[in-house]
A = this chain, B = another copy of it.
Amino acid sequence: MPKREKKSLSIVDISKLAGVSVATVSRVINKNGRFSAETQKRVEEIISENNYVPNLVAKGLKTKKTNFIGVIVPDITNEFFSMVAVEIQNSLRQHGYFALICNTREDISIEREYLDILNGIQMSGLIFISGNTRIENESVRFLPTVYIDRAPEYLGKSLVIESDNYSGGRMAANTLFEAGCRNIACLRYAKNISSHQRRHEGYRYELEARGLSFNASLQFSVDEVSYNAAKTKMLEVMESGLAFDGIFCTTDWLALGTVAALSERGKKVPGDVKVVGFDDILSSRLSSSPLTTIRQQVDIMGRIAADEIIKMINGENIDTSKIEIAVSLVKRQTT
């Protein structure tokens, strides 16, 4: 069976081979100065000749800090989340940090389990991408933390990065209105995630600003952000005979499911009903009815999250507690 057959070298081995002390080896590895160019050369040669790689576990124990940054994400299978996760991991890597991506499937007990592990391995910081739970985990309270796409109930001293969801909601409602809709429904995520909440608020504000009354019976929600959940839900809605000529879905997957349900019931999109989504994922472009949607700048969100968490770890002053990223309207064929 595959086994580590050659036990790996330690810094002691290297120091012997190089004929210097471990301290010196450590210094050249960490480029801490106080060694001659000559020594450096010899040590570096030995290191690469022997394929030596420093034991980060030992280093972590000694220095009491690691390069680990936990990234908690509800569903990496969802393109929106995976895009920002990838962006975060890549940015962090370039700064010498490693992103530990933890997929929770929105399950709070799994989330807690991961937080314990992350804590155990002494992570230096934590990034939450969306999610719906309040952090009760006492031990995490004192860690540099950034939240993407959802504000925690108790912010503490952490940072929130969000799209301008409110404007996004307004844009969506406005687009529908301009396209002639007067009975504008909304399908959103049932859980009170701040981002979905804000989108909905923007939508509502815009409706009322346009002189349309907010119709409570046209507010739908699903327990799970998925194509299937949305489709099922909207099929039900239509069964019940509720009529609307436009609908804002707080997520592209919800919009995609909605479009499917509408088609299945013979409703033409955008002829009979117009729909607007949120995110601008790839699938929304490739759909049978390419989706009009509100685009979020995932790359920027990820990069900023990485930059800010590093600043926090370094003890730099963060001068904001919230960073809002602009969104934009992408007009396609469902409006």
Contacts and interface: CB of A to CB of B under 8 A. Distances in A.
A95 to B, nearest CB: 13
A91 B187 CA distance: 34
Contacts of A61: 55, 57-58, 61
Contacts of A224: none
A178 interface: no
Nearest to A115: B53
B316 A116 contact: no
B100 A100 contact: yes
Contacts of A143: 2, 4
Contacts of A282: 227, 283
A312 interface: yes
Nearest to A146: B2
Nearest to A54: B120
- The A contact surface, by secondary structure, is mixed
A320 to B, nearest CB: 12
Interface in A110-141: 110, 113-114, 116-117, 119-122, 138-139
A316 B1 contact: yes
Interface stretch (A75-83, A165-173, A240-248): A75-83
Interface string A29-66: 00000000000000000000001011111101100001
Contacts of A158: 2
Contact of A142 (B2, B76, B142): B2
Given A4-B143, A315-B1, A103 B89 contact: yes
Contacts of A113: 93
B77 A66 contact: no
Nearest to A138: B51
A53 B2 contact: no
A145 B1 CA distance: 10
A57 B138 CA distance: 20
17 contacts: A1-B157, A1-B317, A3-B144, A8-B139, A53-B119, A55-B61, A56-B120, A57-B60, A58-B61, A76-B76, A77-B83, A86-B105, A89-B102, A100-B100, A283-B283, A286-B288, A287-B288
Interface of A: 1-6, 8, 51, 53-58, 60-61, 66, 75-77, 79, 82-83, 85-86, 89-90, 93, 98, 100-103, 105, 110, 113-114, 116-117, 119-122, 138-139, 142-145, 156-158, 227, 256, 260, 282-283, 286-289, 312, 315-318
Q: Which 8 A-B pairs have the closest CB atoms?
A: A288-B288, A56-B120, A2-B157, A57-B60, A4-B142, A56-B121, A5-B142, A101-B101
Given A2-B312, A77-B82, A89-B102, 15 more contacts: A1-B315, A2-B143, A2-B156, A2-B158, A4-B142, A51-B139, A56-B121, A57-B57, A57-B61, A57-B120, A57-B122, A85-B103, A100-B100, A227-B286, A288-B288
